[in-house]
Every structure is written in C-alpha cells, then in structure tokens.
Amino acid sequence: MLETARDLTLEAARDATAARRSATRGMSTVHLKKLLDSRSERDVLEGLRRVIAMSYRQEPTHSLFTHLIKNIASPSLEIKKLVYAYLLQHAESSPDTALLSINSIQKSLTDQNPQLRALALRVMSGIRVPVISQIVSLGIKRGVGDMSPYVRKAAALAILKCYRLDPGTEPQMIEYLAALLGDKQYFVAGAAVSAFLEVCPDRLDLIHPHYRSLLRKLLDMDEWSQLDTLRLMGNYARRCFPRRKRRVKRLIDKRGTSTNTKGFYDGSSSGSEENTSNKDAFYDEIILDPDLSLLLESAASLLQSRNSAVVLAVTRTYLYLGTDSHVDQAIGPLIALLRSASDIQYIALHNIIQVCLLRPKAFVPYATHFLVRSTDAPHIWQLKLELLTLIYPLCTSPLQGLILSELDHLSRGHDTLLVREAVRAVGRCAQNSDGSTSSRCLRLLLSHIHSPDGHLVAESLEVVRHLIQRDPATHQSIVIRLAKNLDTLTNPYARASIIWLVGEFAGIDPENNIAADVLRILVKGFVDEAEVAKLQIVLLAAKVYVHYLNLTQPTASSFEQSAQVKTSTVLAPNDDEDRLRESTFAVNKYEPDRSAEDSLKGPEHPIVVIWRYIQLLSRYDTSYDLRDRARLYRSLLAVPSSTQLASLVLLAPKPVPQAPSPSETRRDLLLGSSSLIVGEEGGIGGLRGYEKLPDWVKESEEPNPGLREEGFDNNYGEKREVSASEKLEVMESEKTLSNNVVGGSNTNGHKQKALNDWLDESDSEEGETEEETDEETTEDDSEGEGSETDEGEKVMLMKER
C-alpha cells in the first residue's frame, strides 16, 4: 500500500513537471545555447536533454549543433553519451560541424574505460561522413587488437559501417574480419559474422578455418548473432558440401515414407536427380558430411529459443540442408510460434504453410491448432483454412470429420468473406482426396443449397460445379438431384449455376436425359426469372436443341458431311443472312408459315417447339444482353442441317477448373523471407534484396574438407576450444573428486579454473570494488592478454548448459 501511495505521489509530481516542461517547450535558442555553454554539468545535461527532445519532435536544432559539439570533450560520461546520441542522428546533415568532433572521439579511443572505447568506436564509425573513412579504418584496426571483448565487438560492427561508408576500404576490412571471425568470445565472433555477411559474403575461404568453432559458439551467441550465423551457414553448406546419396534397399515394412520423401526432395533444388523407377525396392539415403551434421546438431537446441526468428531460421536450415527427420524435429517448435502475439502468428503461419506444402503429413497431429477462432483476423484465418485443407487428405477419418464440420460451421457464419473462403476450402478438400471423402465434401456442399444465405448458396454451387466438372461421369446423379431443387430454389445465381450444369449434361445418355424436361419446366416461369438465370435458360435451350438436331440428323454429321460443308459454304451464308433479316423484321408473319410448312411432315417434336417459344420470349425481353445472345444462338442454329459450328461453340469441352492452394504460387520462395509473405506483389524473383539459397555444389567441386581442420590457419590462438557443456562435465567431475578447492589456489593455471574458484574471486572482488577497479586498470595495462583470458573464461562458464 505504502509503495503504491508513494508511486502515485511521484507520478503526480512527474506529470506536473511534464506539464511545466511542455510550457517551456518553446524555450528560446538563446537560452538553450546558454545552457549548453554553461560550465555546470547539470545545466549542460539539461540543455542536451532538451535538444534531443526537440530533435525527436522534429524541431530544428541545427543552430545548436556547434554549441552541442563543444561538450564532446566533457569528462562526464553522461554528457558524452548524449552528445554521441545526437551526433549519430545529425552528423550526416552537417558534416563539417561533425568533423569537429573527430579529434576528441579519437582521443576517447584510447580511454581506460572499455565502455567508452567501445562507444567512441561506435560513434566514429556511425558518423556518416565519407572523408573520415581512413581514420575510421585506423580506429577499427586498434579496436580489433583491443583486449576488451566489448571493444572488439564494437570494432566488428564498425567494419560493417565503414564498408558502407566507403566500399573502397574493403581489403582492409576483410583483413580485420578474418581476425575477428576467429575471436574466442562468442559475441565478438557473432558480430563479425554479421559484418561478414554484409561486406564479403562470398569470401567463404575466410570461414573454413573457423567453421567448427563458430558452430560450437552458436548456442552461446545472442539471438541476433545466431540468426546471422545460421544464414551464413546455410550458404556455406550449400557451397561446400555436395549432396551425396546412397541407394539403400527399402526395409520390408514400408512405413509409407516413400511418397513423402519424394515430395520433400522435389521441393529442394536437388530434386532433378530424383528417380522414380526404383521406387519400390530402393530409396536414396542422404549421406551427411560430418561437418554438415555438426551444423544440424548444433542448431537443434536453438529450437527451444524464445526468439521466433531463431526457431524459423533453424527450420530453414533443416528444410534446405537436412533430412526429413530433421524437418520433423522442427515442426513442433514451429507450431509453438502460434502462441505468440498475432503479428508474429501471421508470419509464422505463412512459413508453416510453406513447410506444410512439402511435408503435410508431419502437421496432421497438430490439426486442432489450426481451428479458426471467432477472434481471428481475416489474414490469420485465411492461412489457417489453407493449412486445414492442406493436411485434410492425410488425416484420419475422425479428424477429417472434425475439419469438415469446422468448415461447415464457418460457412454458416455471417462474414461473407469467411463464408466464401470456407466453401472454397471444402472444395479444395474434395479435389485433393479420394472418392469416399470427396463425396462427403460434396454432400456437405449440397446441404447448403437451401440455406437462406444467398452468398453461401451461390458459392457452394460454384464449388459443386467445379467438382462435377472435374469428374463428370460419376456425378450424373448429383446433377439430377440439383435439377430437382430448381423447383424451390430462389437464389438466381444458384439457379443459373444449376441450369448451366444441366445443359452441360444434356448430351449424355440421350434416351432418358432430363435436360429437355427441365427446360420445359423452366420455360413456364421464364418471365419471372432473374436475368442471370434467363441467360442460362436460353443457353440450355440452345444446347438441348443442338443435341436434338445432332440426333435426328445423324447423316448430316457422318457421311454427307463433306457435301454438306460445301453446300453450306456456298449457300448457307446468304441463306442465313436472308433468314435473319427476314426473321428480325417479320417474325410474326414468317414463323407460323414455317411451322405450317413443318407440320406437313407430321407433328413437330416438342424440343423444336420449345426452342421456338424461347426465341420468342427472349426477343422481347428488357435486357439487351439477353436479346443479343438469343439472336446469336438463333443464327447459329438457323439451318437445322448444319450444326457443326453450333456444336463447336455450344458443346465445346470445357477446361477442368483447378483450384490450387493459394500459397502454391509461393512455393519456390525461401522460407523465412519477406518475399514469401508478400508473395506475387513483390514481383517475380522476390523483393529487392531477396537472395535465393545457392544450389548444392557439384561433387568434386567442393573445397577441400581439410581446410576446416582446426589449427590449419589459426591466427587467434584457439589452442583449446571446449564447448560449454563439455566444460560443465569437466567441472562436475572435478567437483565430485575434490569438493574442497577453495580460494585462488588453482594448480592448473588460468585455463583449468573451476567454477568455485572464480566465483570466490568475484565474491572478494565485490567486497572491495574500488580496489578491484584499480587492479583491473593495472591489469589492463600490464598484463593484457592474461586478464582477458580470465574474463572470457568467466563468461563461458556462466553459460554452461
């Protein structure tokens, strides 16, 4: 209670100051200059704070720059930091003034305080004024040799900035990088890797000697360096380890893996080697280079990282470099990313889909993670739906039931977009699975027909139509069932869809086809139909009529064909035109005549009567589109004996509609890249700066594996590189052997100190801080490398896992 009360008072006071401050926000530059020029540290600080606040508020501060710069020589670290912060943001806009500061920064490079040295190096390299690149380069050179790892880390990052400033310094930078890549401090090496990726990503020869040590440090690096290292290693592995395969006889229990492995290889760029002939007896086993295995194993622990980017980077490494079992290891951690905030979830889902396209089977156990919740944003549920449809064909029957009822539920919702996507998802489920499950989907879709929701009905029928078109032979009965629904169905788009389907099936099994009968019934209510439906009815009539003509005049289409063609080419055009003209002007007069003429041959066939009736109805419709189309069909079918053109137009086989998974187009994009998320919008070949993983190096073109042997080119003295976990083991054993190692009596020298020892040491250090600082500075001066080792050792030990 007390605490909160005090908090409140403080808060109130703070708010009051804030108010006061905003009142003085427009403090005159004269006053500010006075503050900055003041001798009192406190005044200068106050002035600096205000200037920084002004610059963040986008208020002009240029006039104060020179006054501000003066303070860079201040002995106060706090003032220095603020001047540096300002300098970094504004040096570029007034380079001449910024140059004034270089001298004093250079002085700081030799300060006793490593933090200040690191800071100075950072700021000097961060001033984006190209003329100083040589000075920066010198500063980096000094920093690379510094004994504090923090300064070396700053040097590594400065390399990157110096290179950006002046690419001409590249040779020097590469030289420094070579030294830093082998640094035994993991955070120095990590920073060096980031710089390497920017400065000279193709100089893999620099990596060879440090390959193994970098991997051993991987676990201890900070998350951002881990990301960079994994990226580097992805490129490195592709260029240095050829993909070797061995033909292995399949075990007797076939575990059903053959198709899956195939899918996986197809996705990777080495897919061309895949050979399908030996599918039954043999399969290709990937032989991993021991060094590549080291990479894959070192990355395994990172799958438990709290950083989603790291988890994804490991997955990428496994997907493009490892084997199936590696990928399977990463599936769970990928799913765990869905627990994060929705912004991360969105990116994670895109990447999960990408992996799922290659290995859907592995995601089946996690199906319930993809169920759509009512709070999901559209961009999230869209991806979830896609995942559900991707894994659907591989699910067990109860799971399929679950997914279907899920989609069913969603399609009954209120969000039109969601309804549409859910129905389409059902369609994708159906097209990707075998007969029985497919018909299950179809039944589900058909049950939507009587829904009061027009969108749902129309969308369902659209999908049903696609499904039927894909496999017309087995779906004939469904068309009949749909046609029955025409009596009650009210949604015009749904009606149009069904009528079109009936028309498509009009030619099958002519003896008891329903098309003609459906047409007869529809014609009765033609006037009350909506335009979309009317259009389809006219089309149906035309189709039925063509089929009728083709049936009744088999001779025309078979042996008299050639003659027919001749006559029609000669006569028909004119005839047609004449007839058309006549009919447009004098139908009422002409038609009865013709029917009278026809009736001489006997009672007319009902189809002909209906056809003529439809023509009449459509001619006087209010819609010009309908009238035009009707006229088109009429002229097509004007000559009963010549139906070739009409058949070609009306009965052409329709292409089978395909509905691939929406992310199918992104299949080739690199996992974990922005291009993958943006998709087609980013242009062909991804966004600017998108880099594909290089292809596997060809056998016998890879660099000599001996280059990776340690000690081959070891210029930074890694005599004994022991991983942290090994160290722990050593220590544990030591502890059990002799639990009484106390104080600084370490017999084994610096390298073999046990945890107890240095902890003791740090304890005593704490007791006498002042003395300690003295000690450190003297150590720094005199001992150099020795104290350095100590520091490094400590950090390593604390990280043991």
Partner 1 sequence: MGAIEALYIFDEHNNSILQHTYNGHPASAKVLLPLYLAQPAPRPSLTYLPNINPATLLFSIIQDRLLFLCPTSKDIEPLLVLEFLHRVADVLEDFLGSPLLASRIEASYDVVAQLLGEMCDASAIANTEPNALHDLVEPPSKINELLRGVGLPSSSPSLNPSGSTPFSLGSGPRPTIPRAPPPTPTVLWRKANVRHTSNELYVDIVETLSVLSAPSGRPLAAFAHGTIAFTAKVSGVPNLLLNLSVPGGIQHVLSLPVFHPCVRLARWREKPGELSFIPPDGRFVLAGYEVDLLGPDYLENATKAVSAKPHQKHNVAPNLNLPATAEVRTNLGHSGAEFEVRLLLSNSFTSSASSSLASSQSSAARSAPRPAFGIAAGTSAQPTVSDITVTVPLPPAVRNLSDIRANKGEAHFAPSDGAVEWRIASKDVAVLAASGHGAGGAAVATLRCTVVGPLNDDEEGIEEIAWGETWEYQDDKPYQAPGVKDVGGDKGRDTRRMGKNRMLMPSAARVSFQVKGWLASGIRVERLIVDTQTSRGLGAGVKPYTGAKYLTVSEGGVEVRC
Of residues 91-120, which lie at the interface with partner 1 (CB under 8 A)?
Answer: 112-116
The CB-of-241 to partner 1 minimum distance in angstroms stands at 22
Q: Does 15 bind partner 1 (CB under 8 A)?
A: yes
Given the complex with partner 1, which of 53 and 551 has the nearer CB atom? 53
- Which residue in 99, 108, 103, 31 sits closest to 77, CA to CA? 108
Nearer Cβ to partner 1 (284/462): 462
Tokens of 145: 């040799």
Residue list 180-199, contact with partner 1 (CB under 8 A)? 187, 191, 194-195, 197-198
Nearer to partner 1, 14 or 254 (CB): 14
Q: Which of residues 690-709 bind partner 1 (CB under 8 A)?
A: 690-691
CB 416 within 8 A of CB 455: yes
**Closest distance between partner 1 and the C-beta of residue 636, in Å?**
29
d(CA 589, CA 580): 14
Contact (CB, 8 A) for 199 and 177: yes
Shortest Å distance, C-beta 508 to partner 1? 30
What is the number of residues in the chain?
A: 801
- Interface segment toward partner 1; rule CB under 8 A; list 245-253, 282-290, 372-380, 512-520: 372-380
Q: With respect to partner 1, which residue has the nearer C-beta, 24 or 134?
A: 24
Task: Please give the distance of CA 355 from its chain centroid, rounded to a whole number.
Answer: 10
Alpha-carbon distances of 218 from 116, 215, 303, 368, rounded to whole Å: 28, 5, 12, 34
Closer residue to partner 1 in complex, CB, 647/675? 675
**Which one of 101, 125, 437, 663 is in contact with partner 1 (CB under 8 A)?**
125
Under DSSP, is residue 1 helix (H, G, I), strand (E, B) or coil? coil
Q: Which two tokens stand for residue 22?
A: 């905003």
Measured distance CA(684)–CA(686) in Å, rounded: 6
Q: Which one of the spans 121-129, 465-473, 504-512, 601-609 is the region binding partner 1 (CB under 8 A)?
A: 121-129
Residue 68, class by beta-carbon neighbours within 10 Å (0-12 exposed, 13-18 middle, 19+ buried)?
A: buried
Instruction: Rank residues 621 and 800 by Cβ distance to partner 1 and give the closer one.
Output: 800
Does 540 help bind partner 1 (rule: CB under 8 A)? Answer: no
* Binding of residue 566 to partner 1 (CB under 8 A): no
In the list 10, 131, 521, 722, the residue contacting partner 1 (rule: CB under 8 A) is 10
If the CB atoms of residues 704 and 777 are measured against partner 1, the closer one turns out to be 777
* Dihedral sign (CA 52, 58, 64, 69): positive
Q: How far apart are CA 139 and CA 116, in angstroms?
A: 13
Burial class (CB in 10 A: 0-12, 13-18, 19+), 193: buried
Give the shortest CB-409-to-partner 1 separation in angstroms. Answer: 6
Residues 379, 443, 566, 581: which binds partner 1 (CB under 8 A)?
Answer: 379
CB nearer to partner 1: pick between 372 and 467: 372
Of 103, 99, 79, 80, the closest CA to residue 90 belongs to 99
Fill in the per-residue mask, 436 to 475: x = in contact with partner 1 (CB under 8 A), - = not in contact: ----------------xxx---------------------
343 binds partner 1 (CB under 8 A): yes
Q: To the nearest whole angstrom, how small is the minimum distance from the Cβ of residue 566 to partner 1? A: 48
**CA atoms of 439 and 557, how far apart (whole Å):** 38
> Considering only residues 161, 216, 239, 547, which one is a binding residue for partner 1 as defined by CB under 8 A?
161
Q: How far is the CB of 77 from partner 1 (least distance, A)?
A: 4
Residues 496-525 that bind partner 1 (CB under 8 A): 525
Which of 687, 697, 707, 730 touches partner 1 by CB under 8 A? 687
| Min separation Cβ 154 and partner 1, Å | 8
Residues 408 and 425: beta-carbon distance below 8 Å: no
Considering only residues 222 through 281, tell me which ones interact with partner 1, judged by CB under 8 A. Answer: 222-224, 227, 231
The stretch among 42-50, 138-146, 420-428, 711-719 that binds partner 1 (CB under 8 A) is 42-50
Burial class (CB in 10 A: 0-12, 13-18, 19+), 36: buried
In the bound complex, what is the minimum distance in angstroms from residue 311's beta carbon to partner 1?
Answer: 8
List of residues 6+ apart from 99 with CB closer than 8 A: 129, 131, 132
In the complex with partner 1, the residue whose CB is nearer, 715 or 769, is 769
Among 375, 700, 745, 747, binds partner 1 (CB under 8 A): 375
Query: Which amino acid is located at 604 in the chain?
Result: E
Q: Is 736 in the site for partner 1 (CB under 8 A)?
A: no
Nearer to partner 1, 119 or 519 (CB): 119
# residues contacting partner 1 (CB under 8 A): 148
**Single-letter code of the amino acid located at 40:** S
Among 53, 100, 364, 656, binds partner 1 (CB under 8 A): 53
Instruction: Give the separation between CA 103 and CA 110, rounded to whole angstroms.
Output: 12
Residues 303-342 vs partner 1: string with x where CB under 8 A?
A: -xxxxxx-xxx------------------xx-xx--x-xx
- CB burial of residue 509 (10 Å; 0-12, 13-18, 19+): exposed
Q: Please, what is the minimum distance in Å from the beta carbon of residue 76 to partner 1? A: 6
- Residues 6+ positions from 311 with CB-CB distance below 8 Å: 302, 303, 305, 330, 333, 334, 336, 337
CB of 415 to partner 1, least distance (A): 8
Footprint of partner 1 on 653-682 (CB under 8 A)? 672-675, 677-678, 681-682
Distances (CA, A) of 128 to 44, 87, 98, 162, 164: 25, 10, 9, 9, 9
Paired residues of 245 in beta bridges: 286
d(CA 636, CA 545): 11
Nearer to partner 1, 24 or 584 (CB): 24
Smallest gap from residue 540 Cβ to partner 1 (A) = 18
Query: Which 742-761 positions form the footprint of partner 1 (CB under 8 A)?
Result: 755-756, 759-760
Q: Which is nearer to partner 1, 311 or 468 (CB)?
A: 311
**Distances in whole angstroms, Cα of residue 556 to Cα of each of 350, 638, 640, 648, 651:** 58, 15, 10, 15, 17
Nearer to partner 1, 377 or 632 (CB): 377
Q: According to CB under 8 A, which one of 258, 368, 447, 555 is a site residue for partner 1?
A: 368
Chain mean position to CA 391 = 18
Give the shortest CB-780-to-partner 1 separation in angstroms: 9
Part of the chain binding partner 1 (CB under 8 A), chosen from 275-283, 433-441, 583-591, 764-772? 764-772
Residue 691 CB neighbours (<10 A): 12
Cα angle, residue 659 at apex, residues 657 and 660 outer, rounded to 5°: 135
Binding residues among 581-640 for partner 1 as defined by CB under 8 A: none
What lies within 8 Å, CB to CB, of 500 at 6+ separation is: 465, 536, 539, 540
Of positions 32, 109, 150, 353, contacts partner 1 by CB under 8 A? 150
Give CA angle at 576 (571, 577), nearest 5°. 110
In whole angstroms, what is the distance from residue 185 CA to residue 199 CA? 21
Tell me, what amino acid is at 728? L
